[in-house]
């Protein structure tokens, strides 16, 4: 089917229509309630930052065997899919090997084994999360990277002693309750030295 | 036109010379009448200089030679180096006579010239004591040579119309300096001639044009700071301009001007280099206010010459700012060279800054700060002194304030000395501080204060007060940069010092007379110490300067006064060197007690004890053998432990140091000095890379075009295929069922050919149907595609060549960049020597360190990391290996032991051996020590080599007592660990009671790149250093002997045999039949360890980039690092020796670690005729970390299976050539594949298909489309790798 472009009269009316359209848009914009119309943009930005600040520290959460864990977002430097892992000899079983992250060789840790979780399908997880703390960096594996949340968003914070029966309680700093689900906050100060080997 | 021939210029010059000669004679008359004054001498010198410069320019070499010699003589007269005696007079007369003869008779009778030249040169050269051509024959020969040269040159010049500007710019013989001199002097001559026309007839070639705007004399130009710009230059060159061709002349002159400017910048660079060199030497020499020696004046003269030349050249090319500043600077230099008696470091700083400004004017005029210039002008005025100024600035004026402050607390005698200094300064001269210090010393004063005062830059006074006048001399010099420069320089000097000291140590084994050779070594040491001291003073490191000064006093005595030298003296010098080095590198660790003791030792050695400074305990019992010079407490002492009698200099130093902006704790060099040639080669290489890249780019464009053509051909083929489909397949379907086949049916014929030529039979005339045309079209397309294929092949070949070129360039570039980081072993030698000295002194042993291969280069970081292990080995050798002198003598060995440190290149490694001539390893003691560990039984059976290797085990010691040096059983394991972290190895090569012990360290040349062999074991890719592999062979299994401990015989050599698949995976799960039958073996030889190691297959050899295992794993036994492959995967780099020895150690349970096995990736073969299915399934499998091999049908799969053994097969049913069922029959018929799981992936869901699959041995059935999770689950289940 051939599409024909109409010319002539319609085109001649276009400018006025366009003007009308622009005029309408302008009017709508003018009447729209600007969030920063009264105080200016900087005030608006400042208020947003203030809101964010009030929401507290940011965490990244992940799932291991359907259990949710979290760690500070500032310690997470890379998220990705299961990497190609090269195993190495003479390493403990929870170190799966090494992988290439943007040209750097990084060790891969099976966090399930470290946290003494039962291995489901012998799979350490499909996703990688590279964590870094001072001079230490490694990749940990997770079944799912579940998102980011603010400390201020949590419903409740359960102290560590209430999770003492969990096999991984040694590595837990505290437990958040978010939308009625527990999220165990990993204590990197304990976890990272535990992961460090041969040094 | 410019003058076309040199002859005309020469003619002009001879005329000029005729004018100069009477003037010279006039001055000579004055000389004879003894009315010759300084002004006359100056004028005489100027004329001779003009003749020299001009004769050089016009290439009258004989005249130039005599003029140059004469000028040299005049320089000496002016510099008061030579008096105006009769011999000098005769030389001058002879020279003038030669000038005279030359000017009038050169072209008439050259032989007369010769005679006069010989006379003049003889007279001059005798004066100057020139070694060459001292006899008449020699001079004649020289003259002949010059004349020959001139004749030849004249021929060349006359044969062509060589423009004068070419001569100036191109000819190497004539440099810009001479051009300037020539022009200036010529103009000066013109000026003179203008004034004295009766003396110098100018004639037709009149040199002075009417529009000369100003006299062109040097000083006049510079004083005005305003050259006569274009006009003056043009008129200045007026003698070279032919009046007839004005337009052309100006064009040529513009061109000349451009070339001159270009030449100026090139030449200026050289002059700045010379200037910088001379300034740097002066800086090093002038560390305190001092009298100007002849050497200083010579350096000042060189500086002035460079500045003068740059200034003059700038004036000629009309760069007036440069000329102006150069002139001001030159005034200062004139004053310093001609008038000043003393010079101080501040003046040198002013000179340095003035030089910087001059350089900035030349190369970065936009950055010149006028404020800085004003500041420097004030400094100039202060140095030169302006008596009429309202506020005269004395350069050393700040001494007064300082003195006032200092004099308050010092005794009367010291105050008197400072008053003396004041008096010197009030006279407007810098004080002869050294003289005063000597006086003070003679008076028995503590001169440290004065010493410091002299060497310090006056910023800190005795009581720690800031010098108020410091700001005046704070020229905003980048102190950090100065410090950095100092440390770099000090490094070199310490190296020279260490070298000389080492030689001296080796030569002086007992007290002996000082020979010239010893003195030369002492001189070298003194020079290094002096330079370090001077440089330290310049950068305000007063403690170093102060100690250097003390040390230098001892060396002065040793060099100038001492008759004998003994090992004890050498020991004092060594200790003093160590302290000096410590002051530079680790000032925090300098022990004041040690400094004090050394000072006492200095005094004792120089036989001039200083009672006021002697400590009570050192009065009577100080001997050179006194270990207190280097005792434990000295070494262990820290600044917090203060001796009762603080030596004055370090005390001040600490005060001063605490105020320094840049504290020097454990200092590490931040910069890397790179040879200019190395940097240049890198630049060249990068240019080549760019060229290679552009060539590659061009070919990529070509490839794009060919791909376009290929695409066109593809479209044509597609059209043809469609035509066939539409025209014939459809028609064929239409004919389906009819009895007439396609073959029988008449083909449609184009047009009405058949009708048109009914008289021809089909055999008689070809008829073309549409089908024929389509075939023809297809054939043509095939030809096109074939052509494109050829083109693509060519391009492919081309790309390979370009890639090769790029590869070569890149590897070269990489190597050169690596080389830039390389430093010789000398960078750590001083530390090693100090270690030997100190350890030997502590243990009362005599040890010499003999170093070979100090030029061997390694990465600077590697040397730094290697220093500690080497020091440990040396300490151990002295403590454990080397016997006491008595024991050695009893054994018939020399009392002084030797340790040989040798470094050499071996392939891509550096091999360092440390050999001592001690008692060797005590194997019984090692065996005994092992019995107390977990290996009592094994220790009995160990060979000496195995026992030797055990010393690298942590905790092993043969010593019962623990000393400061060794015996704790820690150290050798750390040595090994440190060397391993450098990817290196350490072994004991040999050890015997008589021969001592030899440690061998092997370190790769670079930590970044390695030539490696890539190979697979258990399906995984590994790399290892190619250098250690001596041979790669396939060996019959019958050659493998033994069960637990296997060995293999390769030719006549029996080697321990390992299968890497067993080491890396515990049990070899999968090995190809071929490898089982005839294992592929790497014969490894690391020099100290040999073995045969079986691998599965060999991939290739290539240079690999070594990457560390990250900051988590640090060091994994047997793994050097990893390299990244093209697909991004990491391949471990094995240190096979370490891996296997580690494995054996593990077996012996020395290291208790859980047995680790490596899970092989699942290898899956996907057989499907659909490309899409193959791709999708492959991707899904790879996402699980599995390896996939794809085949497009059963036939291809079977072919692949000849050399490939999958863990699982995914199989389609319907495929061309061989379908799934047929494949299964063939697959299962092979024994090795009877148990390999097979999953059939098909869209056929009928029961009969499932039954058939089961029947042929299929293990699983997956229906297209599948769910990923289910499919993966099925694979995991069937593979048996993933238990539930």
Q: What mean pLDDT comes out for the span B225-236?
A: 35
Q: Where are the beta strands (DSSP E) in B263-411?
A: 290-291, 342-343
Q: What CATH number has the domain bearing residue B1175?
A: 3.40.50.2300
Same domain? B803 vs B830: no
Q: Are residues B918 and B976 in the same domain?
A: yes
Instruction: Name the residue facing A84 among B1110, B1115, B1185 (closest C-beta).
Output: B1185
**How many beta-carbon contacts under 8 Å exist across A and B?**
99
| Alpha helices for B1117-1219 (secondary structure H) | 1136-1147, 1171-1183, 1194-1200
Q: What is the mean pLDDT of residues B205-210?
A: 35
Cβ of residue B1122 closer than 8 Å to a chain A Cβ: yes
Tokens of B556: 């002065």
Q: Are B956 and B926 in contact (CB under 8 A)?
A: yes
Task: Say whether A105 and B1108 touch across the interface (CB within 8 A).
Answer: yes
Could you tell me if B386 and B493 lie in one domain? no
Model confidence at B151: pLDDT above 60: no
Q: CA nearest A135 in B: which residue?
A: B1111
Nearest-CA distance from A61 to chain B in Å? 23
Please provide the DSSP assignment of A144-197 as one string: EEEEEEEGGG-SEEEEGGGGTTSTTGGGEEEEEEETTEEEEEE-HHHHHHHH--
CATH of the domain at B35: 1.20.120.160
* Pair (B484, B522) in one structural domain: yes
The span from the first CA to the last CA of chain A, in angstroms, equals 74
Which tops the pLDDT comparison, B178 or B410?
A: B178
Distance from CA of A75 to the nearest CA of B (A): 15
Residues B835 and B811 in one domain: no
| pLDDT value for B1067 | 34
Report whether pLDDT(B441) > 50. no
Percent of all residues in chain B with a pLDDT value above 90, rounded to a whole number:
4
CA distance A99 to chain B (A): 6
The answer as to whether B100 is a domain residue is yes
Mean confidence (pLDDT) of chain B: 70
Please check the confidence at residue B913 and state whether its pLDDT lies above 90.
yes
Cβ-defined contact of B1132 to A86 (cutoff 8 Å):
yes
Domain with residue B939: its CATH number is: 3.30.565.10
- Tell whether B1118 lies on the interface with A, counting CB pairs under 8 A: yes
Q: Do B1282 and A121 touch (CB under 8 A)?
A: yes
Q: Are B17 and B155 part of one and the same domain?
A: yes
Would you say residue B1071 has pLDDT above 80? no
Query: Are residues B996 and B1014 both part of a single domain?
Result: no
Structure tokens at A6: 């109409």
Assess B1142–A contact: CB distance below 8 Å, yes or no. Answer: yes
Inter-chain residue contact A92 with B1156, CB threshold 8 Å: yes
Using one digit for the tens of pLDDT, what is the confidence trace for B7-36? 666 777 777 788 888 888 887 777 666 666
Are A95 and B1064 a contacting pair at CB < 8 A?
no
CA–CA distance, B770 with B746 (Å, rounded to integer): 12
User: C-alpha angle with apex B1283: B1278 to B1284, nearest 5 degrees?
Assistant: 105
Residues 6+ apart with CB under 8 A from B279: B299, B303, B348, B351, B352, B355
Residue B902: the pLDDT is 93
**What does the pLDDT look like over B610-634, one tens digit per residue?**
333 333 333 333 333 333 333 333 3
- The candidate with the shortest Cα–Cα distance to B837, out of B504, B492, B489, B488, is B504
Chain B residue closest in CA terms to A197: B1113
Residue with tokens 């490939």: B1204
| Residue from B60, B47, B48 nearest B10 by CA | B60
> Looking at the complex, does the CB of residue A196 fall below 8 Å from at least one CB of chain B?
yes
Chain B residues with CB-CB distance to A103 below 8 A = 1124
Question: Do B999 and B1025 share a structural domain?
Answer: no
Chain A residues within 8 A of B1063 when measuring between CB atoms? 89
Tokens of B1004: 């790769």
CA dist., res. B414 & res. B402, Å (int): 14
Give the per-residue pLDDT at B448.
38
Give the closest-approach CA distance of B1020 to chain A in angstroms. 8
* Tens digits of residue pLDDT in A23-65: 777 777 666 655 545 555 556 666 666 666 677 889 999 999 8
Res. B400: pLDDT tops 50: no
Token representation of residue B129:
């004591």
Q: How far apart are the first and last CA of chain B?
A: 101
Asked if A138's CB is within 8 angstroms of B1112's CB, the reply is yes
Residue A192 near chain B (CB below 8 Å) = no
Cβ(B1092)–Cβ(B1086) under 8 Å? Answer: no
Cα torsion A144, A150, A151, A152: sign: negative
What homologous superfamily does CATH list for A58-195?
A: CheA-289, Domain 4 (2.40.50.180)
B-chain residues within 8 Å CB-CB of A99?
1130
Q: What is the DSSP string of A41-70?
A: HHHHHHHHHHHHHHT--EEEEEEETTEEEE
Residue B311 and residue B323: Cα distance in Å, rounded? 4
Which residue among A87, A107, A121 places its CB closest to the CB of B1109?
A107
- pLDDT score, position B135: 41
The pLDDT score that the predictor gives to residue B574 is 87
Count of structural domains, chain B: 7
Give the CATH number for residue B1140: 2.30.30.40
* Measured distance CA(B746)–CA(B1256) in Å, rounded: 49
CB contact under 8 A, B1111 and A136: yes
pLDDT for B1166 beyond 90: yes
Name every chain B residue with its beta carbon within 8 A of the beta carbon of A188: none
Tell me which range, B125-134, B737-746, B1220-1229, is most confidently predicted by mean pLDDT.
B1220-1229
**Which of A92, A122, A137 shows the shortest C-beta gap to B1110?**
A137
- Name the region of A116 (left: φ>0; alpha: ψ -120 to 50; beta: rest): left
B529 and B545 together in one domain: yes
Of A81, A84, A137, the CB nearest to B1111: A137
Q: Is the ipTM of this complex over 0.85?
A: no
CATH 2.40.50.180 positions along chain A are: 58-195
Q: Which two tokens stand for residue B25?
A: 């004679």
A129: confidence class by pLDDT, cuts 50, 70, 90: very high
Same structural domain for residues B834 and B813?
no
Domain contains B133: yes
In a domain? residue B547: yes
One domain for residues B147 and B11:
yes
Confidence of residue B947 (pLDDT cuts 50, 70, 90): confident
CA distance A148 to chain B (A): 25
Short-list B124, B74, B119, B78, CA closest to B101: B119
Q: How far apart are CA B566 and CA B507, in angstroms?
A: 10
Q: Is residue B636 part of a domain?
A: yes
Q: Band of the pLDDT at A152, cuts 50, 70, 90?
A: confident
Given a contact cutoff of 8 angstroms between Cβ atoms, the answer to whether B42 and B77 are in contact is no
φ/ψ of B79, rounded to 5, equals -80, 10
Together in a domain, B900 and B919: yes
Range of the domain at B378: 315-455
pLDDT tens-digit readout, B857-902: 887 778 888 888 899 899 889 988 898 888 888 888 888 899 999 9
The 10s digit of each residue's pLDDT in B674-702 is 766 777 777 777 767 777 777 777 777 77
Judge: A98–B1156 Cβ closer than 8 Å, yes or no. no
Picking from B529-533, B874-878, B1225-1229, which range would have the lowest pLDDT averaged per residue? B529-533
Determine the Cα–Cα distance for residues B246 and A44; give it in Å rounded to an integer.
Answer: 76
The answer as to whether B87 is a domain residue is yes
- In angstroms, rounded to a whole number, what is the distance separating the alpha carbons of residues B79 and B84? 12
Least Cα distance to B518 among B568, B558, B550, B573 occurs for B558
Query: What residues of B are in contact with residue A90 (Cβ under 8 Å)?
Result: 1116-1119, 1142, 1146, 1153, 1156
Q: Which of B1130, B1153, B1183 to mutate to test the interface with A (most CBs of A within 10 A)?
A: B1130
């Amino acid at each position: 089917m051939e599409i024909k472009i109409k010319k002539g009269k319609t085109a001649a009316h276009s400018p006025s229509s366009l003007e009308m359209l622009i005029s309408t848009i302008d009017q709508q914009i003018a009447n729209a309630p600007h969030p920063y119309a009264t105080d200016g943009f900087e005030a608006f930005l400042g208020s947003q930052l203030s809101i964010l600040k009030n929401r507290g520290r940011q965490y990244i959460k992940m799932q291991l065997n359907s259990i949710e864990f979290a760690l500070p977002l500032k310690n997470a430097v890379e998220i990705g899919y299961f990497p190609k892992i090269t195993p190495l000899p003479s390493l403990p079983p929870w170190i799966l090997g090494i992988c290439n992250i943007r040209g750097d060789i990084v060790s891969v840790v099976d966090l399930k084994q470290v946290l003494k979780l039962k291995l489901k399908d012998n799979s350490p997880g499909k996703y990688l999360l590279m964590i870094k703390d001072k001079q230490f960096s490694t990749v940990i594996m997770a079944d799912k990277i579940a998102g980011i949340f603010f400390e201020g968003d949590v419903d409740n914070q359960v102290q560590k002693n209430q999770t003492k029966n969990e096999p991984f309680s040694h590595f837990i700093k505290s437990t958040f309750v978010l939308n009625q689900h527990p999220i165990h906050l990993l204590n990197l100060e304990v976890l990272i030295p535990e992961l460090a080997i041969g040094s | 036109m410019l003058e076309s021939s040199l002859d005309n210029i020469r003619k002009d010059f001879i005329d000029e010379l005729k004018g100069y000669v009477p003037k010279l004679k006039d001055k000579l008359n004055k000389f004879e009448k003894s009315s010759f004054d300084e002004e006359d001498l100056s004028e005489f010198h100027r004329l001779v200089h003009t003749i020299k410069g001009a004769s050089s320019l016009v290439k009258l070499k004989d005249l130039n030679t005599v003029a140059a010699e004469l000028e040299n003589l005049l320089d000496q007269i002016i510099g008061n180096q030579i008096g105006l005696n009769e011999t000098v007079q005769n030389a001058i007369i002879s020279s003038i006579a030669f000038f005279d003869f030359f000017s009038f008779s050169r072209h008439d009778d050259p032989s007369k010239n010769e005679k006069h030249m010989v006379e003049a040169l003889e007279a001059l050269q005798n004066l100057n004591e020139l070694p060459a051509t001292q006899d008449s024959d020699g001079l004649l020969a020289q003259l002949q040579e010059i004349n020959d040269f001139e004749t030849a040159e004249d021929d060349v010049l006359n044969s062509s119309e060589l423009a004068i500007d070419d001569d100036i710019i191109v000819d190497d013989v004539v440099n810009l300096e001479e051009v300037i001199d020539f022009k200036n002097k010529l103009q000066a001559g013109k000026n003179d001639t203008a004034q004295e026309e009766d003396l110098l007839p100018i004639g037709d070639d009149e040199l002075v044009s009417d529009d000369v705007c100003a006299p062109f004399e040097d000083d006049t130009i510079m004083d005005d700071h305003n050259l006569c710009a274009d006009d003056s230059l043009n008129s200045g060159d007026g003698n070279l301009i032919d009046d007839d061709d004005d337009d052309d002349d100006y064009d040529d002159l513009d061109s000349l001007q451009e070339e001159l400017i270009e030449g100026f910048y090139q030449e200026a660079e050289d002059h700045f280099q010379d200037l910088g060199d001379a300034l740097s030497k002066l800086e090093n020499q002038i560390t305190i206010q001092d009298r100007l020696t002849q050497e200083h004046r010579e350096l000042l003269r060189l500086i002035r010459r460079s500045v003068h030349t740059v200034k003059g050249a700038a004036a000629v090319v009309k760069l007036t700012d440069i000329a102006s500043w150069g002139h001001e600077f030159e005034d200062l230099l004139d004053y310093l060279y001609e008038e000043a008696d003393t010079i101080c470091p501040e003046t040198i700083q002013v000179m340095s800054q003035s030089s910087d400004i001059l350089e900035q004017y030349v190369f970065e005029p936009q950055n010149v700060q006028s404020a800085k210039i004003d500041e420097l002008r004030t400094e100039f005025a202060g140095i030169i002194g302006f008596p009429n100024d309202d506020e005269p600035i004395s350069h050393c004026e700040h001494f007064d304030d300082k003195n006032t402050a200092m004099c308050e607390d010092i005794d009367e005698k010291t105050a008197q000395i400072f008053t003396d200094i004041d008096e010197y300064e009030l006279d407007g001269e810098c004080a002869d501080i050294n003289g005063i210090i000597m006086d003070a010393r003679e008076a028995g004063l503590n001169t440290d204060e004065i010493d410091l005062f002299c060497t310090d830059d006056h910023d800190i006074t005795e009581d720690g007060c800031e010098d108020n006048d410091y700001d005046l001399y704070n020229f905003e010099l980048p102190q950090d940069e100065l410090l950095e420069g100092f440390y770099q320089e000090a490094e070199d000097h310490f190296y020279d010092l260490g070298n000389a000291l080492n030689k001296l140590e080796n030569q002086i084994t007992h007290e002996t007379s000082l020979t010239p050779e010893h003195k030369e070594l002492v001189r070298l040491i003194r020079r290094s110490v002096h330079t370090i001291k001077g440089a330290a003073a310049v950068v305000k490191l007063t403690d170093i300067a102060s100690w250097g000064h003390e040390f230098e006093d001892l060396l002065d005595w040793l060099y100038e006064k001492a008759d004998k030298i003994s090992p004890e003296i050498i020991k004092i010098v060594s200790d003093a060197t160590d302290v000096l080095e410590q002051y530079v590198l680790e000032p925090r660790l300098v022990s004041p007690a040690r400094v004090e003791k050394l000072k006492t030792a200095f005094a004792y050695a120089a036989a001039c004890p200083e009672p006021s400074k002697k400590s009570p305990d050192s009065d009577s019992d100080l001997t050179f053998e006194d270990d207190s010079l280097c005792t434990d407490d000295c070494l262990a002492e820290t600044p917090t432990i203060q001796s009762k009698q603080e030596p004055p200099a370090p005390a001040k130093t600490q005060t001063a140091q605490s105020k320094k902006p840049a504290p020097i704790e454990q200092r590490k060099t931040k910069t890397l000095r790179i040879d200019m040639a190395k940097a240049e080669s890198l630049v060249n290489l990068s240019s080549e890379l760019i060229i290679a890249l552009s060539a590659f780019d061009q070919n990529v464009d070509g490839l794009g075009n060919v791909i376009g053509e290929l695409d066109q051909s593809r479209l044509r083929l597609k059209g043809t295929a469609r035509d066939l489909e539409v025209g014939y397949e459809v028609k064929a379907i239409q004919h389906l069922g009819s009895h007439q086949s396609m073959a029988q049916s008449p083909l449609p014929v184009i047009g009405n050919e058949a009708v048109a030529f009914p008289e021809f039979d089909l055999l008689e005339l070809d008829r073309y149907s549409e089908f024929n045309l389509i075939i023809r079209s297809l054939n043509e397309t095939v030809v096109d595609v074939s052509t494109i294929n050829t083109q693509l092949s060519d391009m492919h070949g081309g790309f390979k060549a370009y890639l090769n070129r790029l590869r070569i360039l890149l590897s070269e570039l990489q190597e050169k960049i690596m080389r830039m980081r390389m430093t010789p072993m000398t960078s750590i030698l001083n530390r090693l020597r100090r270690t030997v000295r100190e350890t030997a002194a502590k243990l009362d042993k005599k040890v010499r360190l003999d170093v070979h291969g100090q030029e061997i280069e390694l990465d600077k970081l590697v040397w730094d990391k290697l220093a500690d292990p080497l020091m440990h080995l040396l300490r151990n050798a002295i403590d454990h290996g080397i016997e006491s002198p008595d024991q050695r003598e009893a054994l018939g060995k020399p009392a002084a032991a030797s340790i040989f440190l040798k470094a050499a290149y071996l392939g891509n490694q550096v091999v360092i051996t440390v050999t001592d001539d001690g008692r060797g390893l005590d194997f019984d003691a090692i065996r005994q020590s092992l019995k107390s560990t977990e290996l009592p039984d094994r220790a009995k059976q160990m060979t000496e080599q195995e026992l030797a290797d055990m010393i690298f085990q942590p905790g092993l010691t043969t010593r019962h007592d623990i000393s400061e040096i060794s015996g704790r059983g820690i150290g050798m394991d750390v040595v090994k660990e440190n060397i391993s972290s450098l990817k290196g190895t350490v072994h004991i090569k040999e050890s015997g009671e008589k021969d001592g012990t030899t440690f061998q360290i092997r370190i790769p040349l670079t930590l970044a790149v390695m030539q490696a062999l890539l190979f697979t074991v258990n399906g995984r890719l590994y790399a290892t250093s190619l250098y250690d592999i001596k041979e790669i062979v396939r060996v019959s299994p019958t050659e493998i002997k033994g069960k637990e401990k296997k060995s293999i015989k390769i030719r006549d050599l029996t080697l321990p045999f390992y299968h890497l698949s067993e080491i890396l995976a515990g049990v070899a799960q999968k090995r190809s039949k071929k490898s089982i039958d005839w294992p592929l073996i790497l014969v490894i030889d690391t020099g100290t360890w040999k073995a045969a190691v079986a691998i599965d297959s060999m991939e290739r050899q290539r240079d690999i980039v070594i990457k560390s295992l990250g900051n988590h794993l640090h060091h994994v036994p047997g793994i050097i690092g990893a390299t990244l492959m093209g697909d991004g995967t990491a391949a471990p780099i094995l240190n096979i020796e370490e891996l296997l020895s580690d494995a054996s150690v593990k077996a012996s349970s020395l290291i208790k670690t859980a047995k680790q096995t490596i899970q092989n990736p699942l290898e899956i073969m996907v057989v499907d005729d659909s490309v899409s299915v193959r791709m999708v399934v492959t991707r899904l499998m790879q996402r699980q970390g599995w390896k996939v091999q794809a085949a497009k049908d059963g036939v291809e799969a079977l072919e692949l299976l000849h050399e490939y053994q999958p863990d699982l097969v995914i199989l389609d049913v319907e495929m061309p050539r061989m379908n799934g069922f047929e494949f299964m029959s063939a697959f299962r018929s092979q024994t090795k594949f009877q148990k390999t799981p097979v999953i059939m992936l098909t869209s056929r869901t009928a029961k009969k298909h499932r039954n058939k699959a089961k029947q042929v041995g299929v293990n699983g059935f997956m229906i297209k489309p599948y769910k990923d999770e289910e499919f993966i689950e099925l694979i995991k289940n069937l593979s048996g790798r993933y238990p539930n």
